[in-house]
Amino acid sequence: MAEPLKVGVAGLGTVGSAVVRILGARAAELEARAGRPIVVTAVSARDKGRDRGLDLSGAAWHMDASQMARSADVDLVVELIGGAEGAAKACVETAIEFGRPVVTANKALLAHHGLAIAQAAEAKGVAVGFEAAVAGGVPIVKTLREGMAANRMGRVFGILNGTCNYILTRMEKEKIGFAECLADAQKLGYAEADPTFDIGGFDTAHKLALLATLAFGVQPDPDGIYVEGIASITPLDLQMAEELGYRVKLLGVATRTEAGVEQRVHPSMLPMDSAVARVGGVTNAVEIDGDAVGALVLSGAGAGGDATASAVIADIVDIARGVGGPVFGVPAATLAAPSRAPMARHEGGYYIRLSVLDRPGAAAAIATRMAEQGISLKSIMQHGKDDDTAADAVSVVLITYATSESALRGALDAIEADGHIDGAPQVIRIEKR
Amino acid sequence: MAEPLKVGVAGLGTVGSAVVRILGARAAELEARAGRPIVVTAVSARDKGRDRGLDLSGAAWHMDASQMARSADVDLVVELIGGAEGAAKACVETAIEFGRPVVTANKALLAHHGLAIAQAAEAKGVAVGFEAAVAGGVPIVKTLREGMAANRMGRVFGILNGTCNYILTRMEKEKIGFAECLADAQKLGYAEADPTFDIGGFDTAHKLALLATLAFGVQPDPDGIYVEGIASITPLDLQMAEELGYRVKLLGVATRTEAGVEQRVHPSMLPMDSAVARVGGVTNAVEIDGDAVGALVLSGAGAGGDATASAVIADIVDIARGVGGPVFGVPAATLAAPSRAPMARHEGGYYIRLSVLDRPGAAAAIATRMAEQGISLKSIMQHGKDDDTAADAVSVVLITYATSESALRGALDAIEADGHIDGAPQVIRIEKR
């Protein structure tokens, strides 16, 4: 019989506990797939006394994850501590230093230090699996890293944060405001007490950085991503979107452009009948546009203990079978330095909602400012008075044909300076099918 | 530098030509992914003179695919000849006999001879890739074989034949009949001159056999699959489906039941807001229900030269990287013998459309026959007269709660014997979300 693979699990929260539980419950099936037994021989967590409903009697307990990673107890280290620095980073670095493959769900760590980790891992000839870091149980990393090898990708985009999609879906269905919906999501456990990381778009940006690296062969560049969150979205925007045939989603989008790889996270209007637009609730969905395969869409659970553990265990089995190769699909040395396509050069259609003060000449002035920047309007809709507008203002929604972000910003700056509008314009980019 | 992988391609139709073209055009990128050059060193096809727009000057030409498979020119054999027997089978068997890994798009071959091929390949320690055999460019084989290792699957189902989905989508949108739509699909090249294999459900059955093997660890059993095609579907059925909140799709469905693995191909009503139901046109879509990951949906191009070549090349790159392992994810020796869950024991809801002769007592007699079999009706709708019904008949649609196929057949046999209906009942199974 083949030697067992000794697995050490650092971090025994929801995901870590599910990994240990499933590795035990499915031991025979996993051995058949892996060609060798997979055994949890070591664990690491802060609180040894907590009842996790797991039999950990066969596993060595380490208070320190890095100590576990360097111990003779383990052949493979599963890092589920989280965070871009500190214990998680030290644990992964130690494992690689000791020649042990790593499986991690840590998007922050890989977004910020993925290049160095990949270089170190490749130098040591050890694998790093991170399927669980993007879109939870959806096998998007495997699909991009292995399944799309023949393709030159034009775009990869998707719903990568279940909290935001849950909030937007509920706002749309129940016609309630963002703050109320967020509070409810927090009560139900779909949003953190400090929700900034999710609703601000930063979690999506970490995942997008990894997708862009896999799709375009560029070094992860989370700081080069344009990020807007969903806090400014109103029920009126969602209603207007529906009338116009769109759904509003927080998307991470990476596109190959002449100016480099454009990476952006912001609320987007997607045609209602596109596959990603239809994905509601906490579900994640990713579309890959490859030149050979066309549009490929994957959707499924983006979070949750068991779904994320499913991705972690798939990586463990691959490594147990001897699957290796470069961390991001191509050697880290060949990953291109980030070539940030500036957001000012972004091209696309726009939804613009203005609170226009009810005075003569306002509409004409707005139209003129748009024309001065060469922006063509596809439609103009006056929505009338509503809760969001001042007493002497009306909501006007403009839909533009494709234009550049810089032209749009120029027009909106001029419109604001003219003094015909109340408050800042609401701008939502339209993502083409 | 690592040794090149010498690839022989048998079959130079649309897919084979695309494979050769992309392997040439993307040589550098593929080498970076594979860790070694991938070079087409041999090809085999019947007509050497035909212009395929390919530079084949560097490749040895073989009139006979098996001769190519045993020649010293090749390390890996790509089989794109097609068909369950004959040249394709001989080519694959020869390659394995000579210890050469195989990549194939041949669902018929693997559905009928997959067990023997897997046993032979595993005995020789060679890999067999067949991503392209199911759902074209959609990486469903990789997902089931590798990505879902942690899961016990409850069901796998999907739209696996683009021709049928194209016809059903057009019938639904344009309210035209099956025959007219098929003729049009043939003119446009979406259906073969002899369409039986597609519209009869047999192509879907071959693919389903492979999905069931991957999902449930049973030997491929195409002859154990219940198969119905789409020729009986009428525009009225599609209209009724829409009114009831369903879409009609030709699905391949494999389910784990107490009686064994149930495998069936037939038109199904799917809730309109489910992910697979929304997939129109030639696109394929597969849903996997795993106990850890939940519902995972993949959709994309199920056919076409480049999309299928994308899947073929992903397999080639995996093998070039040294990825191997059992053909169906677990050793062939451990695949369970087919345990056919008999269709009579299928449980589910049903749509039944009857042409009821307009005479006293007919409705009561039908209701009584259903009740005798313990079948509860969820709704009864009388549609009135239409083109499909006899002059003195009206269309009546019944929707049942979950019942068994045998109870339903018993009721329908009794109803037919009673003589209250004209023609055979139309029965469409309802697939639950």
Nearest Cβ partner of B314 from A147, A291, A295?
A147
Chain B segment 295-354 residues within 8 A of A by beta carbon are 295-301, 304, 306-307, 309-314, 317-318, 321-325, 329-331, 334
Nearest Cβ partner of A143 from B139, B291, B330?
B139
What are φ and ψ of residue A390, in 5° steps?
A: -65, 165
Residues B192 and B278 occupy one common structural domain: yes
Q: Which of B66-70, B304-308, B336-340, B375-379 has the lowest mean pLDDT?
A: B336-340
| Banded model confidence at residue A1, pLDDT cuts 50, 70, 90 | low
| Banded model confidence at residue A388, pLDDT cuts 50, 70, 90 | low
Average pLDDT over chain A reads: 95
Give the span between the Cα atoms of B1 and B28, in whole angstroms: 13
Where a domain ends, among B133, B151, B171? B133
pLDDT of residue B389: 63
Maximum alpha-carbon separation in chain A = 86
ipTM of this complex prediction, to 2 decimal places: 0.96
Q: Is the backbone of residue B274 left (phi > 0), alpha (psi -120 to 50) or beta?
A: beta
Residue A207 annotated to the active site: yes
| B277–A contact, CB cutoff 8 A | no
Is B298's pLDDT higher than 90?
Answer: yes
Q: For A273-300, what is each residue's pLDDT tens digit?
A: 999 999 999 999 999 999 999 999 999 9
Kind and range of the H or E run holding B238: helix B235-244
Using a CB-CB cut-off of 8 Å, the residues of chain B touching A331 are: 32
Where a domain ends, among B275, B300, B325? B300
Please check if A10 is assigned to a binding site.
yes
Please check if A334 is assigned to a binding site.
no
Active site residues of B: 207
Give the span between the Cα atoms of A209 and A223, in whole angstroms: 9
pLDDT of residue A10: 98
Q: For B162-175, what is each residue's pLDDT tens digit?
A: 999 999 999 999 99
Q: For A225-283, what is each residue's pLDDT tens digit?
A: 999 999 999 999 999 999 999 999 999 999 999 889 999 999 999 999 999 999 999 99
Residues B276 and B408 occupy one common structural domain: no
Q: Which of A50-54, A71-75, A86-90 has the lowest mean pLDDT?
A: A50-54
Q: CA separation (Å) from B52 to A104, A292, B81?
A: 46, 18, 16
Q: For B17-51, what is each residue's pLDDT tens digit?
A: 999 999 999 999 999 999 999 999 999 998 888 88
Please check if B408 is assigned to a binding site.
no
Please check if B15 is assigned to a binding site.
yes
Check if the beta carbon of residue B432 is closer than 8 Å to that of residue B255. Answer: no
Residue-number span of the structural domain to which A362 is assigned: 344-430
Residue A326 inside a domain? The answer is no
Residues B100 and B166 occupy one common structural domain: no
pLDDT of residue A15: 97
- What are B118's two structure tokens? 């897997």
Domain at B244, CATH number: 3.30.360.10
Residue A317 inside a domain? The answer is no
Torsion B55-B59-B60-B65 (CA) sign: negative
Kind and range of the H or E run holding A349: strand A347-357
Give the span between the Cα atoms of A229 and A204, in whole angstroms: 10
Please check if B16 is assigned to a binding site.
yes
Average pLDDT over chain B reads: 95
Q: For A312-321, what is each residue's pLDDT tens digit?
A: 999 999 999 9
Using a CB-CB cut-off of 8 Å, the residues of chain B touching A298 are: 296-298
Residue B332 inside a domain? The answer is no
Whether A150 sits inside 8 A of B314 (CB atoms) is yes
Give the span between the Cα atoms of A334 and A12, in whole angstroms: 35
Using a CB-CB cut-off of 8 Å, the residues of chain A touching B303 are: none
Whether A299 sits inside 8 A of B275 (CB atoms) is yes
**Number of compact structural domains in chain B:** 3
Q: For B202-217, what is each residue's pLDDT tens digit?
A: 999 999 999 999 999 9
A257 strand-pairing partners: A260
Residues A125 and A153 occupy one common structural domain: no
Give the span between the Cα atoms of A120 and A304, in whole angstroms: 30
| Banded model confidence at residue B176, pLDDT cuts 50, 70, 90 | very high
Residue B379 inside a domain? The answer is yes
Check if the beta carbon of residue A42 is closer than 8 Å to that of residue A73. Answer: yes
Check if the beta carbon of residue B146 is closer than 8 Å to that of residue A314. Answer: yes
Mutate to test the interface with B, among A19, A298, A328 (most CBs of B within 10 A): A298
- CB contacts < 8 A (A, B): 180
Residues A255 and A196 occupy one common structural domain: yes
Q: Output the DSSP codes for A178-240.
A: HHHHHHHHHHTTSS-SS-HHHHTTHHHHHHHHHHHHHHH-B---GGGSEE--STT--HHHHHH
Nearest Cβ partner of A307 from B292, B300, B317?
B292
Residue whose token pair is 């609401």: A426
Residues A40 and A115 occupy one common structural domain: yes
Whether A150 sits inside 8 A of B300 (CB atoms) is no
Chain A segment 346-375 residues within 8 A of B by beta carbon are none
Whether B300 sits inside 8 A of A294 (CB atoms) is yes
Distance from CA of A156 to the nearest CA of B (A): 14
Please check if B349 is assigned to a binding site.
no
Whether A293 sits inside 8 A of B310 (CB atoms) is yes
Whether B149 sits inside 8 A of A330 (CB atoms) is no
Residue B316 inside a domain? The answer is no
Give the span between the Cα atoms of A364 and A431, in whole angstroms: 28
In this prediction, what percent of chain B has a pLDDT beyond 70? 98
| B70–A contact, CB cutoff 8 A | no
- What are A193's two structure tokens? 């007490």
Using a CB-CB cut-off of 8 Å, the residues of chain B touching A300 are: 293-297
Please check if A17 is assigned to a binding site.
yes
pLDDT of residue B338: 85
Q: For B103-155, what is each residue's pLDDT tens digit?
A: 999 999 999 999 999 999 999 999 999 999 999 999 999 999 999 999 999 99
Torsion A130-A135-A138-A141 (CA) sign: negative
For residue B128, the number of C-alpha atoms closer than 13 Å in the C-beta half-sphere is 35
Residue A335 inside a domain? The answer is no
In chain A, the residue whose alpha carbon lies closest to the alpha carbon of B333 is A32
Chain B segment 148-167 residues within 8 A of A by beta carbon are 148-152
| Banded model confidence at residue B385, pLDDT cuts 50, 70, 90 | low
List A89, A207, A249, A378, catalytic entry: A207
Nearest Cβ partner of B334 from A18, A32, A137?
A32
Is A363's pLDDT higher than 90?
Answer: no
Residues A277 and A204 occupy one common structural domain: yes
Angle of CA points A375, A377, A383, to nearest 5°? 130
Distance from CA of A305 to the nearest CA of B (A): 9
How does strand A426-430 pair with strand A260-271?
parallel
Residues A194 and A241 occupy one common structural domain: yes
Whether A314 sits inside 8 A of B146 (CB atoms) is yes
Residues A263 and A399 occupy one common structural domain: no
- What are B223's two structure tokens? 């002859």
Domain at B355, CATH number: 3.30.70.260
Residues A242 and A268 occupy one common structural domain: yes
Nearest Cβ partner of A314 from B149, B295, B313?
B149
pLDDT of residue B2: 85
Is B383's pLDDT higher than 80?
Answer: no
> Comparing B2 with A9, which gets the higher pLDDT?
A9
Residue B275 inside a domain? The answer is yes
In chain A, the residue whose alpha carbon lies closest to the alpha carbon of B293 is A307
For residue B224, the number of C-alpha atoms closer than 13 Å in the C-beta half-sphere is 20
Residues A196 and A258 occupy one common structural domain: yes
pLDDT of residue A384: 66
Distance from CA of A277 to the nearest CA of B (A): 11
Q: For B91-109, what is each residue's pLDDT tens digit?
A: 999 999 999 999 999 999 9
Whether B309 sits inside 8 A of A292 (CB atoms) is yes
Please check if A349 is assigned to a binding site.
no
Residues A178 and A215 occupy one common structural domain: yes
Check if the beta carbon of residue B263 is closer than 8 Å to that of residue B227. Answer: no
- What are B152's two structure tokens? 């016990």
Give the span between the Cα atoms of B267 and B302, in whole angstroms: 18
pLDDT of residue B361: 87
pLDDT of residue B243: 94
Q: Output the DSSP codes for B132-192.
A: GGSSTTS-HHHIIIIITTTPPEEEEEEE--HHHHHHHHHHHHH---HHHHHHHHHHTTSS-
Whether A148 sits inside 8 A of B32 (CB atoms) is no
Mean pLDDT, residues B189-193 taken together: 86
Is A309's pLDDT higher than 80?
Answer: yes
Whether B293 sits inside 8 A of A306 (CB atoms) is yes
Nearest Cβ partner of B296 from A30, A300, A313?
A300
Where a domain ends, among B71, B102, B133? B133
pLDDT of residue A387: 60
Mean pLDDT, residues A420-429 taken together: 95
Residue B72 inside a domain? The answer is yes
For residue B137, the number of C-alpha atoms closer than 13 Å in the C-beta half-sphere is 33
